[in-house]
Amino acid sequence: MNQIYITFTFGLALPILFPICLMSIFNMYVAERLQFAYFYKQPPKTDNRLNDRALQILMYAPLMMLSFGYWQLSNRQIFFNEIQEITHSGKPILVEHKMFYF
């Protein structure tokens, strides 16, 4: 779940995270299947509550992607190389984060 949350949170700014997460999840899947086949004597006794709770927690990952993605895609310092100089005047800094700027 940690990999999915990190990928969804920062994936729009770093798209390479999506294939890295896919390879990592596939690697965990293969390792778990091999461990069930060769290492574990009996499968662990779990019920459906663990799976339901994991899906309930993962439902919030797309919300994180939307909220952080909005900020990342509207950041002019990343895409247009516009740097706002920081002065110590005690006034708030206007960073010009807008979704549509024409």
Domain ranges, residue 69: 2-79
Per-residue pLDDT tens over the stretch 39-84: 877 766 778 888 899 999 999 999 999 998 888 888 777 777 777 6
CB 97 within 8 A of CB 71: yes
For residue 28, being part of any structural domain is answered with yes
For residue 22, being part of any structural domain is answered with yes
The dihedrals phi and psi of 59, each to the nearest 5 degrees, come to -65, -25
For residue 91, being part of any structural domain is answered with no
For residue 15, being part of any structural domain is answered with yes
For residue 95, being part of any structural domain is answered with no
Residue type at position 34: L
For residue 14, being part of any structural domain is answered with yes
Q: What is the pLDDT at residue 62?
A: 93
Q: How many domains does the chain have?
A: 1
What pTM did the predictor assign?
Answer: 0.67
